[in-house]
Amino acid sequence: MKFTTMSRREMLAGLGVAGLGLRITKLRAAAPGFKIGACDWTLNKRTDLTVLELAKKLGLDGIQVDFGHQKDGLPLRKPEVQKKYLEMAKSLNVEIGSLALGALNEVPLKSDPQAEQWLAESVEVCKALGVAVVLVPFFGRGDLRNDQPGTEAVIERLKRVAPQAEKAGVIFGFESWLSAEQHMEILNRVGSPAVQVYYDVGNSQKQGYDIFKEIRYLGKHICEFHAKDNDDLYGKGKMNFPEVRRAMDDIGYRGWIHIEGTRLPLGVEESVRYDERYLRGVFPREV
């Protein structure tokens, strides 16, 4: 066995990584089963406080809350807005499962310095709201497919912001059209446990990836899941959610699954209610 000398800086960095890893492990251990939430944009209530009341009505455990539109200045950054979310969530006994920086689809991290600033600010918002995960999307103008220069820029910006997230115990959930192997290449190059994959089963299936193989391949590098069926209500379309559950069991995943509905034939509320009830049968609160 070869021994090497570790610098003080390397030692402190290692302790920070270990601390974040321990926090993630504790968070997952604290969830004996699954929590079912929904994206506020799926419910047509993007950064709208009343989405928590709707979540209660629909029997959801919580909501994935978006930061809001660029034209509005990303309202969730405002302390007074955060306070209102916390107060209402507590009064309704509904959780804020995670956050999402949807504005990055229009103001891409790969090309706009403002996006990097928002990402850094999101860490403090997560701390204020007691949330561990913020979704960092790469769709629309932020798409990284066949864009190596854009990918390189994203890696460098994540490297700069990740230490702040590590220190705060916050995870950036990387969601894109890329394959599991491409995601892992980016994660390895960033080299931080604060950057993980936000896995959307519907998006991966749409791209023709083997989602069950991908889930098992990514394993502990997945921080959270979107549930989606691009064809119909859950259980009626092509998404094999029981097999998704088996793949989750194999990697030891327990925690949040957020409904991001694309097919809402019964209307928004009744479709999400239907999907929530179906998911409960596959992903129970207690396992």
| Calpha distance 24→165 (Å, rounded) | 13
- Residue 181 contacts residue 221 (beta carbons within 8 Å): no
For residue 227, what is the DSSP state?
A: E
Question: What digits encode the pLDDT tens for the residues 167-195?
Answer: 999 999 999 999 999 999 999 999 999 99
> Tokens representing 196?
């993980």
Residue 236: Cβ within 10 Å count: 14
pLDDT of residue 25: 45
pLDDT of residue 284: 98
Q: How far is CA 272 from CA 22, 261, 276, 278, 279, in A?
A: 34, 7, 6, 10, 10
Residues counted in the chain: 287
pLDDT tier for residue 107 given thresholds of 50, 70 and 90: very high
Question: What digits encode the pLDDT tens for the residues 216-249?
Answer: 999 999 999 999 999 999 999 999 999 999 999 9
Question: What digits encode the pLDDT tens for the residues 56-106?
Answer: 999 999 999 999 999 999 999 999 999 999 999 999 999 999 999 999 999
Chain position carrying tokens 């103008």: 141
pLDDT of residue 262: 86
| Calpha distance 148→174 (Å, rounded) | 16
pLDDT of residue 19: 53
Domain boundaries, the chain: 32-279
pLDDT of residue 32: 80
Q: What is the CATH number of domain 32-279?
A: 3.20.20.150
Q: How far is CA 86 from CA 45, 97, 131, in A?
A: 17, 12, 11
Instruction: Please check the confidence at residue 17 and state whether its pLDDT lies above 80.
Output: no
| Calpha distance 139→257 (Å, rounded) | 20
Question: What digits encode the pLDDT tens for the residues 121-138?
Answer: 999 999 999 999 999 999
- Residue 194 contacts residue 172 (beta carbons within 8 Å): yes
| Calpha distance 97→233 (Å, rounded) | 22
Closest CA to 171 of 98, 117, 103: 98
For residue 112, what is the DSSP state?
A: -
- Residue 269 contacts residue 54 (beta carbons within 8 Å): yes
Instruction: Please check the confidence at residue 212 and state whether its pLDDT lies above 50.
Output: yes
| Calpha distance 204→191 (Å, rounded) | 24
The pTM for the full model equals 0.90
